Amino acid sequence: MTPLERALRERIAAEGPLSVETFMEACNAYYYATRDPFGAVGDFTTAPEMSQMFGEMVGAALADCWRRSGAPEYAAYAELGPGRGTLAADALRVLRAGRFSGEVHFVETSPVLRDAQKQAVPDAVWHETIDNLPDRPLLLTANEFLDALPIRQHVAGTERRVSGAAGGLAFDRDGEIVETSPVRDGAVRAIARKLVANGGVALLIDYGHSRSAPGDTLQAVRGHRFMPVLADPGEQDLTSHVNFEAVASSAQEAGAVVTPVIGQGEWLIRLGIEARAQSLSRANPDRASDVQAALERLTGSTQMGELFKVIAIHAPNWPTPGGFA
């Protein structure tokens, strides 16, 4: 039994079954607080860990938007759940080359990952919540952050819960599942409020669907394989598909402007990732096949190109970032 399972069983014995939301929140808080989960020897690999090109495209899109908004000096780069800080380091290289000299602000709860982020971006400032980000125009990005926030599941209108069972944990009901995520909606509203109040733009990148639909999308990954969701609590990464329709309406409710949701592949290609791949390959011919493989992984329709999606949220008086139309 994992240490977290022991704690959850005690909690269930005292308080009764836990909502899926409480379970997922507890599992991910423990999971991220106790390890760096990324890379070949870890549990999963994210886009910025596959290739520097990903962060460079994010940086180029933000730099262009910042320039078109009048290049405000007091704007800051902000990132939610920056992982190892790789995306920030790659994006900031491009932003700095474009004369952006603003501060860097991270929202991160894991002490282990804060240490890793400090290696990659030593001058960053850390925050516990989105609301604590500074009141400045923000060039904000979040990759695979929203998918880690807890969801609720409902079966026939009743919230699905997790209880103790012989040899493990079990769901209290099965059937057609409808998912909601008040925590995720709240995070998106918090981002949108900041942008509306102070200016700025957010690029939210994640796996998910463009339209709301019933279905069980909660999944567990460990060692690059799917695992049973309730197995080994706290030792595997729990995520769910992001409902981008809900993201868009939460942002609009808070007064922000949203772009259409588009595939990561289409977005990266419109931003010029193919030309970047060619120039990286010409500069390092011995790495050309790695660059080509990363390009295919990030943009290919059977790889990350379509399942992963991008939406931009911006202040009404800020320009729409490139790549969407």
Number of alpha carbons in the 13 Å side-chain half-sphere of residue 288: 8
* 107 binding ligand SAH? (CB under 6 A): yes
Please give the Cα distance from 85 to 141 (Å, whole number).
12
* 28 binding ligand SAH? (CB under 6 A): yes
* 269 binding ligand SAH? (CB under 6 A): no
Please give the Cα distance from 307 to 46 (Å, whole number).
13
| Number of other residues whose CB lies within 10 A of the CB of residue 226 | 10
Single-letter amino acid, residue 72? P
- CB of 222 closer than 8 Å to CB of 43: yes
Between CA 280 and CA 289, with CA 283 as vertex, the angle to 5 degrees is 55
Nearer to ligand SAH, 69 or 181 (CB): 181
- Residue 159 C-beta: closest distance to ligand SAH, Å: 21
- Quick one: tokens of 19? 């909502």
Please give the Cα distance from 196 to 191 (Å, whole number).
9
Please give the Cα distance from 65 to 1 (Å, whole number).
50
* 145 binding ligand SAH? (CB under 6 A): yes
Number of alpha carbons in the 13 Å side-chain half-sphere of residue 180: 10
* Residues within window 176-215 making contact with ligand SAH, judged by CB under 6 A: none
* 81 binding ligand SAH? (CB under 6 A): yes
Residues 87-106, one symbol each (x = binds ligand SAH by CB under 6 A, - = not), give x-------------------
**Where does this chain touch ligand SAH (CB under 6 A) — which range of 41-49, 65-73, 228-236, 241-249?**
41-49
* 113 binding ligand SAH? (CB under 6 A): yes
**Where does this chain touch ligand SAH (CB under 6 A) — which range of 139-147, 174-182, 220-228, 259-267?**
139-147
* 144 binding ligand SAH? (CB under 6 A): yes
Binding-site size for ligand SAH (CB under 6 A) equals: 19
- Residue 58 C-beta: closest distance to ligand SAH, Å: 10
| Contact footprint for ligand SAH (CB under 6 A) | 28, 32, 38, 46, 48-49, 81-83, 87, 107-110, 113, 143-145, 148
